[in-house]
Amino acid sequence: MEIAPAQVFGALGPDLSHGKATWVRTERRGAKSPSSGSGEREVQVSATAEVSAPPDRARVCVLVGSRKEAAVQAKSSVIRRLDYIVQSVRGHGVQEDNITVTKDFRRIESGYQMEAEVSVIFSDFGKMEDLCNLLAEKLDNSVIVSSPQFFHTPEVVENIRRQACLQAVANSRRKAFEVCRLLGQSLGRPLIVREEETKESEGGASEPLTPDNTRPLTMQQQINNASVTVYSKVFVTFELKSKDNCKRNN
């Protein structure tokens, strides 16, 4: 009577320090793999990684307005300050495609009102801070400089996601290598790589505000709050090299 080849299975219990389990399966040649059917000697691991990055862009809006009895006076008052604002922005190295100017002119009961808004996108936060300080110093309180709005460009977000996945895969290989060394096995090529879970979060812990909650956040706090963190979890199956292959490689 033909006897089927014996199968040997080994399993490591959960890694309590990380809350994850590592499974190792070894089989004699000719035995069917219970999961893949490939007959491969395998080690299966899961691993995670987190990658964080601060925002790479900030938007600042500068609003200037005037109300006058005569239309020409309202226009000239705004245009004069608007020209100064735009020239100051250009002087800080901002390209034209990152400067947007909108104007609104209307008649009101007591005369005419004109408002203009300059929206500026910065990639250099130091220059942004210098410009905001300059406008606050040189212009009166009729000019309003908004707080910066920090954000990520799509290319940066995609890079964070990619780096998190790649780091998780690298962690899985290190983990599998340690398991194989513990069991006296040799790690081979990856057979299956699957990203099982991804999470994205924004924000960070900021310093407590004053009791009356009136103190504005510092620029660094705002940057921390706009930072993005991507979490990635992967499942990877690696081949276990046979002793014959190891001898031939040596």
Q: What percent of the chain has pLDDT over 70?
A: 76
Q: pLDDT band for 204, please (50, 70, 90 cuts).
A: low
Of 26 and 220, the one with more pLDDT: 220
Name the β-bridge partners of 144.
63
Please give the pLDDT value at position 141.
81
| CB contact at 8 A, 223 and 129 | no
Q: What are the residues whose beta carbons fall under 8 Å from the beta carbon of 7, sequence distance 6 or more? A: 27, 28, 31
Q: Measured between alpha carbons, how far is 191 from 179 in angstroms, rounded to an integer? A: 17
Please give the pLDDT value at position 214.
62
What mean pLDDT comes out for the span 193-220?
Answer: 74
> Which of 245, 115, 127 lies closest to 186, judged by CA?
245
Residue 228, H or E segment? strand 228-241
| CB contact at 8 A, 125 and 219 | yes
Please give the pLDDT value at position 180.
93
What mean pLDDT comes out for the span 128-143?
Answer: 89
pLDDT tops 90 at residue 207: no
Q: What percent of the chain has pLDDT over 90?
A: 59
Q: On the CB side of 217, how many CA atoms lie within 13 Å of its CA?
A: 17
